[in-house]
Amino acid sequence: MSISSLQAIQLEEQYGAHNYHPLPVVLSRGKGVYLWDPEGNRYFDFLSAYSAVNQGHCHPHIIEALKTQGETLTLTSRAFYNDVLGEFEEKLCRMFGFERALPMNTGAEGVETAIKLARKWGYEIKGIPENQAKIVVCSANFHGRTTTIISFSDSPEARDQFGPHTPGFIKIPYNDTEALQRAVEDPHVAGFLVEPIQGEAGVNVPDDHYLAAAAEICRRFNVLLLCDEIQTGIARTGSLLASCGECSCTGRCEQQPESYIKPDILILGKALSGGVYPVSAVLADHAVMDVLKPGQHGSTFGGNPLGGRVAIAALEVVEREKLAQNARRLGLIFRKEMEDLIQECSLIHSVRGKGLLNAVVINDSPESETAWELCVKLKENGLLAKPTHGNIIRFAPPLVMTESELMECISIIRKTFLEYAR
C-alpha cells in the first residue's frame, strides 16, 4: 500500500530518531539519474546518496546480481568459506592494484579497520611501543560518526557530549605538507589518514601535487598513507581514484607513472555496491595486511556472498560504461557553466570540484539559510541537492548522466539561482 509524502514524513517524525534534517521531499522510486515522490513528481538526483549511487539508481546489471545471489546464498559468516568472497577480493585487488582486500560493510567500519590495521603495523613492524601509536588526521575531516572517528572530528555536532574521546590522533591543517612533515617526525606516528578531496567539508580540493608530496613524506618517515576514498573513489572525480589525480585510466588502475599515487591502505565504500547493499573494503599489500591474524578483526556480514556479488556487478558497470571518463568530461562542462553563471549572478561566490563532485559556494555567511532555501527552490524546480557547511551546495549526480541531461539540470540551476537573486 502506497502512502502520501505527508504520511511518510509524519511516520518518520513520530517513530524515528531525530538525527537527520532532510530536505522536505519523500522519495519512493528511482531509476538512473531520476527519483520520484509518491505523488509521481520526478526529480533529477544531484546528490547520489552522498556518492553511493554513482552507477545510477537500480542499475539493471546490479539488481540482477542482487536477485540471482539473493535466491542462492546470502550469508554464511566468516566461520566458513563461500564461493563469492575470493572472486570479489580478486576483483578488488586487480582493479585497484593491491595484493590483499578485507571486505566490511559501512564506510565507517572501513575507516575503523584501516586505523586498527595501521596501529597493528606500527607496533609489529615499525616497533612503536605498545599503546603509543598515533595517527595523523586533517582538520575539517569527515570519516564517519563512530566513537573513535568523532574523537578527531572538528564538528561540534559530532563530538559534543559524546566523550570521553579516543586518544592517539594528531590533527594538522589540510593541504599543508609542512605541517605533515613536522607531525610525522614523531617516531610514534603509524599513519596519515586523509581524504584526497574533502567532500563533507565543502568539496575542498587540495593543490595538484599535495598527495604526491604527502606520499613521499610518509615513505621517508616510514609512516603509512591511508586514503579514505569512500566518497571520492569509484570514478566519482573523473579517475578511478581521486588520489591518482589527473589519470586517464579506462576502467581499472593502470598505474600511469605521471599521476599514479598508491596509498599503503585504501578505504572504499558507498559506490562500491552501487547504492544497492552496504559494502566497504580496505585494501593493502601483504606487508601491511598480513599483520592481522585470525580473531583480531572481523564482521559477521563483512565478505558475505550477497554483498560480494553486488559489488562485483557494481565495479563491472564502472568499467563497461566508462564512468570515470564520463565524470571527467561532464565535470568540465558543469564547472564551465557555473563559472559563466557567476558572471550573471552575484549570489554565487565560486565553484570548485573535480569530475562530478562539485560545490557551489554561496555569497553569504556559513550561518545563513541561503543555501538551504536554494535547495528547497531547486527541489520545487525538479532537482535534488543538499547544502554542506552552511553556505555551500554540493552537486554530485550519478555518473551515468548524459550530456543532454546535464544541460537540462544546468538550466534548472541557472533558473533557480537567478530567480532567487531577484
Helix/strand/coil (H, E, C) string of the chain? CCCCHHHHHHHHHHHCCCCCCCCCCCCCEEEECEEECCCCCEEEECCHHHHCCCCCECCHHHHHHHHHHHCCCCCCCCCCCCCCHHHHHHHHHHHHCCCEEEEECCHHHHHHHHHHHHHHHHHHHHCCCCCCCEEEEECCCCCCCCHHHHCCCCCHHHHCCCCCCCCCEEEECCCCHHHHHHHHCCCCEEEEEECCCECCCCCECCCCCHHHHHHHHHHHCCCEEEEECCCCCCCCCCCCCHHHCCCCCCCCCCCCCCCCCCCCEEEECHHHHCCCCCCEEEEECHHHHCCCCCCCCCCCCCCCHHHHHHHHHHHHHHHHCCHHHHHHHHHHHHHHHHHHHHHHCCCEEEEEEECCEEEEEECCCCCCCHHHHHHHHHHHCCEECEEECCCEEEECCCCCCCHHHHHHHHHHHHHHHHHHHC
Which domain CATH number covers 399? 3.90.1150.10
Which is the catalytic residue, given 46, 228, 334, 395? 228
111 and 28 in a common domain: no
Decide: pTM greater than 0.95.
yes
340 and 289 in a common domain: no
Which is the catalytic residue, given 91, 120, 270, 386? 270
96 is annotated as an active-site residue:
no
280 and 174 in a common domain: yes
In this predicted structure, what is the pLDDT of residue 122? Answer: 99
417 is annotated as an active-site residue:
no
**Lowest mean pLDDT: which of 6-20, 78-92, 239-253, 362-376?**
239-253
256 and 202 in a common domain: yes
The residue range of the domain holding 248 is: 60-321
Which domain CATH number covers 248? 3.40.640.10
Domain end: 300, 321, 342, which one?
Answer: 321
In this predicted structure, what is the pLDDT of residue 100? Answer: 99
279 and 159 in a common domain: yes
Condensed to tens digits (0 to 9), the pLDDT of residues 290-326 reads: 999 999 999 999 999 999 999 999 999 999 999 999 9
* Number of domains into which the chain is organized: 2
182 and 296 in a common domain: yes
91 is annotated as an active-site residue:
no
334 and 307 in a common domain: no
24 and 85 in a common domain: no
Condensed to tens digits (0 to 9), the pLDDT of residues 11-53 reads: 999 999 999 999 999 999 999 999 999 999 999 999 999 999 9
Domain end: 321, 353, 385, which one?
Answer: 321
Q: Is the pLDDT of residue 198 over 80?
A: yes
Mean pLDDT (the chain) is 96
182 and 165 in a common domain: yes
Q: Is the pLDDT of residue 254 over 80?
A: no
Which is the catalytic residue, given 44, 88, 96, 142? 142
